[in-house]
Structure 1
Amino acid sequence: MTVTTRGSGAVEKAQRRLALLKSINENLDLGHGLTIEAYSRLIDNTRASVEAHNTLLSNLEESRKTITQMDKELAEMSQRMLGGIAAVYGKNSISDLAPVNLDVNSMTKCQVSQTFNIL
């Protein structure tokens, strides 16, 4: 599953509008903060945010690939470890490594501390 980066149609459209507005007046000021400078700054900030977003997505995809690869390596080594135990100690010893099912919720505080060597 790849993560799709995004573009910004609003940035592209605003960039074209900015060029048209500059052709009217390089220092256009319509009042109430509606200036060429403010418009240009917002376009640049939006473009930078989209680029940062896409960089994060790219890093996320690389991290996902790394974790997937590490999971495969860990599963393979786990199988090899169990195979080694079976070869050295016999196949019946593998059942000794099975996790013990503990219902901690039904245990008293004393039983939990004794089971896990706490306190």
Structure 2
Amino acid sequence: MPLKTRGSAALDKAQRRLANLKSIDENLDLGYGLTIQTYAQLIEATRIALDTHNTIVSNLHESVKTVADTEKALSEMSERMLMGVATRFGRSSKQYSKAGGSSRKGKTTTSHPDAAMTDSATLQNGSNNGNVQQPVLN
């Protein structure tokens, strides 16, 4: 889940409330540290924290894109380097193998006939609740 820049409903509500409280008295002091000045300072601190957060998120998105772009360029150059070794020395050379290429010579696909027979037997015999598999001959 990517991070998103955000707003603050609490900050919006507090700013409206501050304006309303100032309409009562610019220097309202309700005691116990509940003053217009203290409230305004906390609103400003919240705004700064939110702005800082959104700047960091924005920079993070930019950084993620930069890393992705450089990784793509690196992957492309890695492939080109390997192809350059293949062109110069051949795909069946020691140099190609050292560079991370794999020789086409010993590559054979092995199939497991037992697995194919078991799968077809299970399909043709229906469910296999008894866990006994009997080969089906075609």
Structure 1, residues 45-74: CA drift from partner, whole Å, max 9, x if none? 101100100000000000000000001000
Equivalent position SS for 1:81: helix
Q: How far apart in 2 are the matches of 1:97 and 1:81?
A: 8
Compute the displacement of 1:3 (Å).
3.5
Which blocks of at least 5 consecutive residues in structure 2 are unaligned? 102-138
Structure-2-length-normalised TM-score: 0.68
Which blocks of at least 5 consecutive residues in structure 1 are unaligned? 100-119
Q: How far apart in 2 are the matches of 1:29 and 1:35?
A: 4
Q: Which residue of 2 aligns with 1:40?
A: 40
Number of aligned residue pairs: give it. Answer: 99
Q: Which residue of 1 aligns with 2:29?
A: 29
Structure-1-length-normalised TM-score: 0.78
Please tell me the residue identity of whatever aligns with 1:56. Answer: I
Q: Which has the larger radius of gyration?
A: 2
Higher relative contact order (CA closer than 8 Å, sequence separation 6+): 1
Please tell me the residue identity of whatever aligns with 2:99. Answer: L
Q: Which structure dedicates a bigger proportion of its chain to helix? A: 1
Q: Which residue of 1 aligns with 2:98?
A: 96
Compute the displacement of 1:89 (Å).
1.1
Which runs of 4 or more aligned residues in structure 1 lie more than 6 Å from their structure 2 counterparts after TM superposition?
A: none
